[in-house]
Amino acid sequence: MLKLAILAYSSVLFAKVVTSAAIALSLTAPENVSQPVLKSFVSFSIEFSSFPDFAGNLSHPNNFSYNLLKNLGDLQGSNPIIRVGGNTQDYATFNATQKEQLIGTVNANRSRDYPTTISIGPSYFDSYSTWPNISYIHGFNLGKNGSIGHDTLVDTVPLVCKALASPDGKSPKLAAWQLGNEPDLFKTSAQGPVRPSWWNETDYVQEWLNKTRSVIRALVMENCPEVVEQGKFSFYAPSFAGTSNSLNLIKTWDQGIDADHDIGFVDSHNYIGGAEQPGVTLQGTLMNHSSTVASVAKHLNESRILRSQGVTQPYILGETNSLYNQGKPGLSNSFGAALWGVDFNLHCAANNIRRVHMHQGTNYRYASWQPIQTVNESIGTKTPYYGNVAVARFLGNEGGRAENVTVSEIDLSESESGASIYHSAYAAYLDGRLARLAVIQMQAYNYSSPSSPGSSQRPVERFSFQLGNDQTGTAAAVKSITAEQLIANGSDAITGVTFGGYSFNYELDEGRPVMLKNISAAEDVQIQQGGVFLVDVPWSSAVVLNFAY
């Protein structure tokens, strides 16, 4: 399978090079560069009901998942942070005598993709001990009200303490806390409302404060007081589904949600569109920079208003991916979606969304990997993972100095194809100096039915950059540039992706990087006189360039 894919790829002749005028590339960070990204910018959210599949248990740790996480940690200098949550966190109740980690019942009327009746036992929390050196956010149940909800919280807080707290302060396992997933949909959920129509921001905030104070904090003080002493009693909140649902994030701050000063991160969720939404296409919805910009703009607006009100916590996306309802087959699992993922994440980074958790679940169409074999989906690394790799590589491992990496979006309107919605470029600066450049070409190239009639040749967009077009930087300071390509047969490919010539496939070495033959590895880019260099980017591919001084 894999060999065939590679042969097919190498037989494609790239043609029809389109050249562009030189795009100025500053060697020093421009004034409007982003704030530094947070450590673990590339992070994940794993569906609560799927977590045992992804992590395994004490006797059967899921090493494949761990290998994939560690690759990203090695590339970006800090392992991804895992938020365990999603819709199913608000369905899960606790049974102290249950042996199984999780017993779930699927009701296809509510969702085909995950159980909506869930009971977890004490062994559920064993999955927090299978991966070394990974930290977590456990999503507590807010959806269940009344005594069941109360009992679930009371029973599970001590178990989370036991699983994640670090009495000696040396274990990095606890990243943050979370109570409730997308409470802005509680009144309107298509899976059945869990709050009455009158439940507004005031009611939500009162309930959130009451439960975080009188239940969670009280039990933490009793079971793992070091969490508070170590400054780790810090929440991701309010974890709303979006910016225009039945509760408004700004109003929750007005209503005093941070009265206890325990919200460490302003957490919002985002999807570009819905899997079943009419008119959704790969080119129009995902491989479309304008679509990504419009989707992220709602959050930038919200974050700007919060900052103007003196809220200083970082704004992050604690759950996001391409298309809600777990993604659309042929779109969310295609190589085009991997390219979308690179554009989306880098656009976030360039605009002060400081960490992004890509949502995962067993059998989900948009998943970066399938952790176990099921009747619906084979175990394996999926195309979106390669987008995660490119983002982590772009941010770079600077020996834990993520806090000095800033990102800037490059204006491509000077390029020959102008202000196209089908390409984008970003620069990463380390200590204010140009370190890497990413160029993403998003014109769909459908290899299974090439778009240009009568031709199977894949067009290439040529970008011409001019280094050091500013007062301080001189092009001569750059000694060399190397390029690593993110590529597959086309935007419709669902296998055969490589980054810099590496595959991370399950079949090769259980997700560890394997350099493939017959695929171009990192290549040197020639710097011409005057600091001009050319980058040829085939349609439906991306490239990450590294600058050495």
Ligand X SMILES: *[C@@H]1O[C@H](CO)[C@@H](O)[C@H](O)[C@H]1NC(C)=O
Which residue's CB is nearer to ligand X, number 210 or number 376? 210
Amino acid letter, residue 29: A
Q: How far apart are CA 328 and CA 272, in angstroms?
A: 12
Among residues 145, 163, 127, which one has the least CA distance to residue 215? Answer: 145
150 scored as a contact of ligand X (CB under 6 A): yes
Count of residues binding ligand X (CB under 6 A)? 56
Query: What single string gives the DSSP state of each residue in 436-472?
Result: EEEEEE-----TTS-SSTT--PEEEEEEEEEET-SSS
6 scored as a contact of ligand X (CB under 6 A): no
Q: How far apart are CA 475 and CA 469, in angstroms?
A: 8
Which stretch in 9-17, 83-91, 283-291, 531-539 sits in contact with ligand X by CB under 6 A?
283-291
Which residue's CB is nearer to ligand X, number 158 or number 284? 284
Q: Which of residues 333-392 bind ligand X (CB under 6 A)?
A: 350-351
Q: Report whether the peptide linkage leading into residue 115 is cis, meaning its omega lies within 30 degrees of zero.
A: no
Q: How far apart are CA 475 and CA 465, in angstroms?
A: 11
When CB distances to ligand X are compared, the closest residue is 284
Which residue's CB is nearer to ligand X, number 167 or number 432? 432
Give kind and range of the element (H or E) at residue 506: helix 506-509
Taking the complex as a whole, how short is the minimal distance between the CB of residue 257 and ligand X, in angstroms?
11
90 scored as a contact of ligand X (CB under 6 A): no
Question: Which residues are the active-site residues?
Answer: 201, 319
Interface residue with ligand X, options 276, 431, 470, 509 (CB under 6 A): 431
129 scored as a contact of ligand X (CB under 6 A): no
Taking the complex as a whole, how short is the minimal distance between the CB of residue 250 and ligand X, in angstroms?
9
Q: How far apart are CA 429 and CA 35, in angstroms?
A: 11
14-53 mask for ligand X (x: CB under 6 A)? ----------------x-x---------------------
Asked if residue 447 lies in contact with residue 538, where contact means CB atoms within 8 angstroms, the answer is no
The answer for residues whose C-beta is within 8 angstroms of residue 522's C-beta and 6 or more apart is: 482, 483, 484, 500, 501, 546
Give kind and range of the element (H or E) at residue 69: helix 63-76
- Within 13 Å of residue 251, how many CA atoms lie on the same side as its CB? 14
462 scored as a contact of ligand X (CB under 6 A): no
Which residue's CB is nearer to ligand X, number 34 or number 503? 34
Taking the complex as a whole, how short is the minimal distance between the CB of residue 518 and ligand X, in angstroms?
29
Q: What is the contact surface with ligand X in residues (CB under 6 A)?
A: 30, 32, 57, 59-61, 63, 73, 78-79, 95, 97-98, 100-101, 107, 109, 123, 133, 145, 150, 194-196, 199-202, 206-207, 210, 214-215, 243, 251, 255, 284, 288, 290-291, 294, 297-298, 301, 305, 350-351, 400-401, 403-404, 409, 411, 421, 431-432
